[in-house]
Chain A
Amino acid sequence: MAPRTRIPGTERARLATSGAHATTLRRLTAQPGADIWKGNIFLAALLFALTIALAGLAAIILQAAIEGAPAFSIKLLTNGPSTVNPEEAGFRPALIGTLYLILGVILLVVPLGVAAAVYLEEYADGNRWWNRVVELNVQNLAGVPSIIYGILGLAFIVRGPLDLGFILAAGSLTLALLVLPTVILASREAIRAVPSSIREGSLALGATQWQTIRRQVLPAAIPGVVTGVILAVSRAIGETAPLLLVGAATFVTFNPSFLGDDGYSALPVLIFNYASRPQEEFRVLAAAGVVVMLVVLLAMNSFAIWLRNRYEQQW
């Protein structure tokens, strides 16, 4: 052991102080300039991305509003479709069809999605191959094109094992399958984000696993689940292709119901059909329909966001 150089206490303190001083100085002078600069660039990039997204939405609303303006009247909400008198035509049956479809989707997707997410996050043993298969499948299913779900719905829900026929509930089920992966993935994220200290605290106080999930984890995960439902509903409301396959018609003059076998319609189906017609009147109607659909969607999402903010909590 080499003899240590003895430095008097005051000298040691002086060295330490100057060292700390130099470090602090470097932190505060040279580096911060670059960091602040980089920070600002990053912030600008974020704002730019946000602006593009919002500008896109604004452009769609604006264009649809301008083009559809001649058709704006209460008739849009009270009248049914008309080919003979386009100026009298409205979206009532299609609007009611879409509201029922979405209601059905929410009622199916929330319990199923949350249950699947709870199982995968809280119960499933990630080392078991079947759980890994399920996990991989859920992630892949989120990227499957919607028309595939339409074919699936036609083969297994409308015909085949379930044999529901071309009813609105079959459309709801098909759309629910389509958006289920989105809800599962968002719910899993939400459940994972609940700090494990909360779970451990609950378990330590004698709660069972189920009590912990029901009383601690799920309430804390509600905002994340609601976000998933917003994403899911926003996707489901605009889907046309799978609905055409599972029986949504364009021309329906009566109010549809969940189980009635007399047929149903939905907003995107009617809008798509009107937009591709040769006559200008129908293209105006299509644009007005887009506005109706966006208003419905934004109203639903605003409610969901309000709900989410109510349940949001800080740890």
Chain B
Amino acid sequence: MSSSRYKLPAALIIAGVFAVGVVACGGNGSSDSSSGGAGNLSGNIRIDGSSTVAPLTEAMAEGFQTENPDVKVTVGTSGTGGGFEKFCVGETDANDASDAIDDEQKKMCADSNVEWEEIQVANDALSVVVNPQNPVKCLTLDQLSQVWDAGSKVTDWSQVDGLDPPFDAEATLFGPGTDSGTFAYFTEVVNGEEGRQRTDYNNVGEDDNQTVTGVAGAPGGIGYFGFSFLRENEGTITGLEIDSGDGCVAPSPGTVQDGTYTPLARPLFIYPSASALEKPEFDAFMEYYLQNVNSVAESIGFIGLTGEQLSDNETKLNELIDKAGGETPAG
């Protein structure tokens, strides 16, 4: 009896020792087995930021790691803002962003001497979606604002001015949480001010799939999210055309790239830091990113860059690399 009482503490200690051993072995093992790959670059690359952009960066990291097995790239999803909090104190090498860096974040970066460049990696079409039973095919920006603006009293589609054809059903609104880059962009271009939106809507937080389910289940449902959610759910929901003054334009890769789907076409970014570009592995990763991003963007739900956007990026990256090279590392 008394001897068995000591078995638990003993087991715990043994477990602890064992764990440390496993960790030590694991560390050695991985570095041994991964050496001698095709590329001779090695090191760690840490990227964080928007969960919207993450799949694109992950696809790039995947491709890059097949060529350079000794480089360990990790991609986190703290959100655009949460990512900048880490990026601007130098804790990450690059930040994925679905919304451009704002003044507060710029100041934070400047305070810690983190130099960055804004590089567009893909396009997205913020898509406004409704239930397939809804006969309305097109909304003007003004009508969109009537529905979504702060203080809006619209509870039924019949209350929207100039609706064509007329539609009579209870309006059920679904939108992302207020921390989301999608929310920030939509409110700014539709309601004229970032964060300005009625509060009595179904807040789906970060889970846009809930908007799909919600809009598909309510005849008068309306919601908005990135283009990939529309493309994956065509049939269960319908994407609305948007009229910003020059006629109705549907969200599609073509209308985004030729600049007619305004103002809801939005750029997606990655922000590399100058000091990280001093590392050859990160330099190579960013080069790889820009060369290959367009070939996979469409297949994983994004809208590719135009030729002009691509060459613009190349210039920006080269400038930043020059900036990184021109600085003394002592700083």
| Pair B207/A249 contact, Cβ less than 8 Å | no
A5 to B46, CA, bound (A): 100
List the one stretch of A25-33, A76-84, A124-132, A178-186 in contact with chain B: A76-84
| Pair B62/A82 contact, Cβ less than 8 Å | yes
| Pair B78/A245 contact, Cβ less than 8 Å | yes
- Scan A283-309; emit 1 where CB is below 8 A from any B CB, else 0: 100000000000000000000000100
Residue from the list B5, B72, B75, B208 in contact with A278, Cβ < 8 A: B208
Q: Kindly identify, within residues 208 to 258 of chain B, every residue whose CB is under 8 Å from any CB belonging to chain A.
A: 208-209, 226, 228-229, 231-233
Sample of 28 A–B contacts (CB below 8 Å)? A82-B62, A83-B55, A83-B58, A84-B62, A84-B63, A100-B23, A107-B12, A165-B91, A215-B2, A244-B82, A247-B76, A249-B48, A249-B74, A249-B77, A250-B54, A251-B61, A253-B65, A257-B27, A259-B23, A260-B27, A261-B44, A263-B72, A263-B76, A265-B74, A273-B54, A275-B209, A276-B207, A307-B8
Q: CB of B296 within 8 A of chain A?
A: yes
| Pair B82/A166 contact, Cβ less than 8 Å | no
A278 to B213, CA, bound (A): 12
| Pair B208/A276 contact, Cβ less than 8 Å | yes
- B residues adjacent to A (C-beta < 8 A): 2, 4-5, 8, 12, 15-16, 19-20, 23, 26-27, 30, 34, 44, 46, 48, 51, 54-55, 57-59, 61-63, 65, 72-78, 82, 91, 206-209, 226, 228-229, 231-233, 296, 299-301
| Pair A279/B232 contact, Cβ less than 8 Å | yes
Q: Which B residues are in CB contact (< 8 Å) with A219?
A: 5
User: Which of B74, B78, B208 has the most chain A CB atoms closer than 10 A to its own CB?
Assistant: B74
Q: Which B residues are in CB contact (< 8 Å) with A278?
A: 208-209, 226, 228-229, 231-233, 301
| Pair A250/B8 contact, Cβ less than 8 Å | no
Q: Which A residues are in CB contact (< 8 Å) with B19?
A: 100, 103, 107, 258
Q: Which B residues are in CB contact (< 8 Å) with A254?
A: 30, 34, 72
| Pair B44/A262 contact, Cβ less than 8 Å | yes
| Pair A248/B8 contact, Cβ less than 8 Å | no
Q: CB of A252 within 8 A of chain B?
A: yes
Q: Which B residues are in CB contact (< 8 Å) with A81?
A: 58
A3 to B74, CA, bound (A): 100
- Scan A216-235; emit 1 where CB is below 8 A from any B CB, else 0: 00010010000000000000
- Scan A179-197; emit 1 where CB is below 8 A from any B CB, else 0: 0000000000000000000
Tell me, rounded to whole Å, the shortest Cβ–Cβ distance linking B129 to chain A: 12
Q: Which residue of B lies closest to A214 (CB)?
A: B5
| Pair A251/B27 contact, Cβ less than 8 Å | no
A262 to B82, CA, bound (A): 19
- A residues adjacent to B (C-beta < 8 A): 81-84, 100, 103, 107, 110, 165-166, 215, 219, 222, 244-245, 247-255, 257-263, 265, 269, 273, 275-280, 283, 307, 310-311
A297 to B208, CA, bound (A): 28
Q: Which 7 residue pairs spanning A and B have beta carbons closest together?
A: A263-B74, A251-B75, A249-B76, A249-B74, A83-B58, A278-B232, A251-B58
Tell me, rounded to whole Å, the shortest Cβ–Cβ distance linking A279 to chain B: 6
Q: Which residue of A lies closest to B204 (CB)?
A: A276
| Pair A84/B76 contact, Cβ less than 8 Å | no
Q: Which A residues are in CB contact (< 8 Å) with B76?
A: 244, 247-251, 263
Known: A83-B55, A273-B54, A276-B206. Contact between A250 and B232, CB under 8 A?
no
Tell me, rounded to whole Å, the shortest Cβ–Cβ distance linking B297 to chain A: 12
A280 to B4, CA, bound (A): 52
Q: Which residue of A lies closest to B25 (CB)?
A: A257
Tell me, rounded to whole Å, the shortest Cβ–Cβ distance linking A25 to chain B: 49
Q: Which A residues are in CB contact (< 8 Å) with B77?
A: 244, 249-250, 269, 273
Residue from the list B59, B72, B82, B232 in contact with A245, Cβ < 8 A: B82
| Pair B301/A279 contact, Cβ less than 8 Å | yes
A247 to B27, CA, bound (A): 19
User: Which of B76, B208, B301 has the most chain A CB atoms closer than 10 A to its own CB?
Assistant: B76
Known: A249-B48, A261-B44, A263-B44. Contact between A275 and B91, CB under 8 A?
no
Residue from the list B15, B74, B296 in contact with A251, Cβ < 8 A: B74
A308 to B8, CA, bound (A): 10
Other 9 A-B pairs with CB < 8 A, given A255-B26, A269-B77, A276-B51: A103-B19, A249-B48, A249-B75, A251-B54, A253-B73, A260-B27, A262-B74, A276-B206, A278-B233
Q: Which B residues are in CB contact (< 8 Å) with A260?
A: 27
| Pair A83/B62 contact, Cβ less than 8 Å | yes
A16 to B304, CA, bound (A): 100
Known: A107-B16, A249-B76, A283-B209. Contact between A277 and B27, CB under 8 A?
no
Tell me, rounded to whole Å, the shortest Cβ–Cβ distance linking B210 to chain A: 9
| Pair A84/B209 contact, Cβ less than 8 Å | no
A279 to B300, CA, bound (A): 8
| Pair A252/B207 contact, Cβ less than 8 Å | no
Q: Which A residues are in CB contact (< 8 Å) with B44?
A: 261-263
A222 to B253, CA, bound (A): 63
Residue from the list B8, B34, B206, B207 in contact with A222, Cβ < 8 A: B8
Q: Which residue of B lies closest to A225 (CB)?
A: B8
| Pair B55/A276 contact, Cβ less than 8 Å | no
Q: Which A residues are in CB contact (< 8 Å) with B27?
A: 257, 260
A263 to B61, CA, bound (A): 14
Tell me, rounded to whole Å, the shortest Cβ–Cβ distance linking B86 to chain A: 8
User: Which of A166, A251, A252 has the most chain B CB atoms closer than 10 A to its own CB?
Assistant: A251
